[in-house]
Amino acid sequence: MSIKLVSGIPVLIVALVLLSGCGGGDSFDRVPLAGTITVDGNDKPSGGITATADLKSSGDDAPELPNAYATIVDGKYEFNEDSQPGVGAYIFEISIFVPEEGAANETSTNPEYANETGSNSVLYKKKVQVPEGGSDSFSIELTKNEQTGQDDDPRGPSGERER
């Protein structure tokens, strides 16, 4: 009996090694994306980016694109490896934190402390084409014209994406 147990251990080890590579990822072809954001000339905004596929610009034959998320600190952003976008047309919903008047400390513009300091945010929407291969210097310039109301949802009134 001990011979069978010993001969089964290598098979078990091989199976565990093969299974350890499964899961944890997704099937999307993600690309690295990082860069800077300016808002009406302010080159040090803080906030966050939620990137969703622009289905109206992509067309029916375009590959499905993953949602992506990034934090903006001092005008710089970088999508983490597990939340990078794919190549294609996106709508970036960019929330920029606006500190309360009189808030002079450093944490008032840091997204991690926004809820603690009572900071407000302003939402912008921008159509973005994520380039083949991504970019480490992708600049995004926002203007007041791209500012939107909090209730302006691209998914429509039902909460589902419009095609």
| Tokens encoding 145 | 């014209």
At residue 159, the pLDDT reads: 42
- Give the residue ranges of the chain where pLDDT is below 50: 2, 5-6, 12, 14-23, 105-109, 113-118, 151-163
* Structural domain spans, the chain: 29-148
pTM of this prediction? 0.67
Q: Is residue 51 exposed (0-12), middle (13-18) or buried (19+ Cβ within 10 Å)? A: buried
pLDDT number for residue 61: 73
Burial 30-46 (b: 16+ CB within 10 A, else e): bbebebbbebeeeeebb
**Domain 29-148 part of CATH 1.10.3470:** no
pLDDT of residue 9: 53
Q: Are 16 and 39 in contact (CB under 8 A)?
A: no
Q: Let me know if 12 is exposed, middle or buried by CB neighbors in 10 A (0-12, 13-18, 19+).
A: exposed
d(CA 134, CA 68): 13
- 3-state SS record for the chain: CHHHHHHHHHHHHHHHHHHHCCCCCCCCCECCEEEEEEECCECCCCEEEEEEECHHHHCCCCCCCCCEEEEEECCEEECCHHHCCECEEEEEEEEEEECCCCCCCHHHHCHHHHHHHCCEEEEEEEEEEECCCCEEEEEEEECHHHEECCCCCCCCCCCCCCC
Distance, in Å, from the CA atom of 69 to the CA atom of 25, rounded to the nearest integer, reads 16
